[in-house]
Structure 1
Amino acid sequence: MITLFTFGPGLSLPDPSPFVTKTDVLLKMSGLSYQTQSGSIFSAPKGKLPYIDDDGHKVTDSTFIRAYLEDHYNIDFDEGYSSTQKALAWAVEKMLEDHLYFAVQALRWENDANFERGPAEFFRGVPAPMRAGFKAMIRRRVSRDLHGQGMGRHTPDEQFELARRDIDAVAELLGNKPYLLGDAICAADATVFAFLLGTLCPRFESALRRYTEQHKPLVAYVERMMERFYPDFTGCKKA
């Protein structure tokens, strides 16, 4: 059986990582039997989650996991769509994973209030005498990575302007369709849903969340996906 290694529910989300949520949704879409298990970046094959273990065969990275499921189990997540539509879906995925992701990371980790609302929870298991120093070290490391990637070099207002364009692009492409490409769900919907869900998370206060909430079709899309894949999860609903 396939085992998906995750962080587990947190930050009022099914999983704090959109990449884990994406993979979980893909597995739900596949119809395959699988189980989830709490994982650790310290024991993960590439030092990151998610990864899967399929009877001893480990696959890391959400994109490679998708490819493995398609190749090994002969699954076509994009059945019925043209090569042009599939290319568009891939471009949307990469925009969210390699651009929007870092803007959301910045507003969670570099904003003091949001850090205390969210990522600070990750350090509860650290012994009290070491906790403050360890939190500061990891936070500096995240900021260093954001600076190296480029998003961390911008002001919060500039980060919002960049991320806003991603949200506008997704809203324009989705329109009033039930799913990204049309009436049938595709693999990219797992990604779009996961990243919009994180952006809309009510735990965090941000101009980006408020802006995304103004796109009612995007909000309705996330609600539809939640009802389909996480009908019993209530953590990400507004109080």
Structure 2
Amino acid sequence: MIVLYTFGPAFGLPDASPFVTKADMLLKLAGLPYRSERGSLRRAPKGKLPYLDDSGRIVADSTLIRWHLEKTYHIDFDEGLSAAERGIAWAVEKLLEDNLYWAIARMRWLEGDNFAKGPAQFFRAVPAPLRGLVEALVRRKVRQALWAQGLGRHAPEELLALAAKGMASVADILGDKPYLMGDRPCGADATLFAFAMGALAPAFESPIRAAAASHANVVAYVERMRRCYYPELAAPAAVPPAPWPAAAA
């Protein structure tokens, strides 16, 4: 039996982490029997989630999980795509994972109101006298990671502009197709759904959310995928128009 170790549902999302949702979606697309269990970062082989236990074989990282499923179970998530289409799908994944992710992380972890509504919940088990200190230490690590990655060196309006451009590019690639690359989901759809739904999460107010919501095809895509693969989750509330920096338009 395959076991996927996760953080668990949060903020109206299948999981607090888009990478976990991506791995979960890949298993759904593969049609393989599996179960999800809440994991521990201390026990995770690379200190992060998700990771997968496939009958004793441990695989960490959502992309390595995909490759494991493809090799072990002879699955081609991109079946039917041309070489160029496979390249586009991979580029979309990396845009979302290596660019948009960090913008969303900054919004959730470093903006006070969003932190209070979201990640602060992760620290409820910490004794009250220590909670503020632990939160400050973890948020400092997030800030350092953002700085090391590079996006954390930008002014907020510059980071928003990059996130908005990325989301607009994905919307243009999606177009009026039901799935990213055509009439059937491919591997990158697991990633697109996870990150687009995360950007649209109603728990967080942000210009990034407004930017994602400005693309009707992305909103419709997320709702279509949610109804198909996560019908137990409530439909997200509509995002009202919101002003945001001109530099990010």
Q: Tell me if both proteins adopt one fold, taking TM over 0.5 as the criterion.
A: yes
Q: TM-score with structure 2 length normalisation? A: 0.94
> Which residue of structure 1 aligns with residue 223 of structure 2?
223
Does the alignment pair 1:118 with 2:118?
yes
Percentage of pairs with the same residue: 54
> Which residue of structure 2 aligns with residue 2 of structure 1?
2
Distance 2:137 2:118 in 1: 16
Q: TM-score with structure 1 length normalisation? A: 0.98
> Which residue of structure 2 aligns with residue 74 of structure 1?
74
Distance 1:112 1:154 in 2: 18
User: Over the residues paired in the alignment, what is the CA RMSD in angstroms?
Assistant: 0.9
Distance 1:231 1:144 in 2: 37
5 Å matches for 1:44-63?
44-63=44-63
How far is the alpha carbon of 1:156 from its aligned partner? 1.3
> Which residue of structure 2 aligns with residue 238 of structure 1?
237
Runs of 4+ in 1 over 6 A off after TM superposition: none
Distance 2:154 2:110 in 1: 12
> Which residue of structure 2 aligns with residue 99 of structure 1?
99
**Range 218-227 or range 203-212, more displaced:** 203-212
Question: Which string of whole-angstrom CA distances, capped at 9 and with x for unpartnered residues, describes residues 99-128 of structure 1?
Answer: 110011011111111111111111011111
Does the alignment pair 1:21 with 2:17?
no
**SS of corresponding position for 2:45:** coil
**SS of corresponding position for 1:179:** coil
How far is the alpha carbon of 1:148 from its aligned partner? 1.0
Q: Which amino acid in the other structure matches residue 144 of structure 1?
A: Q
Q: Which amino acid in the other structure matches residue 196 of structure 2?
A: L
Question: Which string of whole-angstrom CA distances, capped at 9 and with x for unpartnered residues, describes residues 190-213 of structure 1?
Answer: 001100000000111111111211
Distance 2:122 2:159 in 1: 24
> Which residue of structure 2 aligns with residue 34 of structure 1?
34
How far is the alpha carbon of 1:66 from its aligned partner? 0.3
Q: Which amino acid in the other structure matches residue 57 of structure 2?
A: H
Does the alignment pair 1:163 with 2:157?
no
Distance 1:110 1:130 in 2: 19
Distance 1:137 1:12 in 2: 26
Distance 2:14 2:81 in 1: 29
> Which residue of structure 1 aligns with residue 244 of structure 2?
none
> Which residue of structure 1 aligns with residue 139 of structure 2?
139
**SS of corresponding position for 1:94:** helix
How far is the alpha carbon of 1:11 from its aligned partner? 2.0
Distance 2:211 2:58 in 1: 39
How far is the alpha carbon of 1:228 from its aligned partner? 0.9
> Which residue of structure 2 aligns with residue 183 of structure 1?
183
Q: How many aligned positions are there?
A: 238
Unaligned ranges ≥5, structure 2: 239-249
Unaligned ranges ≥5, structure 1: none
How far is the alpha carbon of 1:12 from its aligned partner? 2.0
> Which residue of structure 1 aligns with residue 130 of structure 2?
130
Question: Which string of whole-angstrom CA distances, capped at 9 and with x for unpartnered residues, describes residues 13-57 of structure 1?
Answer: 110100000000000011111000000111100001000001110
**SS of corresponding position for 2:184:** coil
**SS of corresponding position for 1:4:** strand
> Which residue of structure 1 aligns with residue 194 of structure 2?
194
Distance 1:31 1:47 in 2: 28
Distance 2:9 2:37 in 1: 11
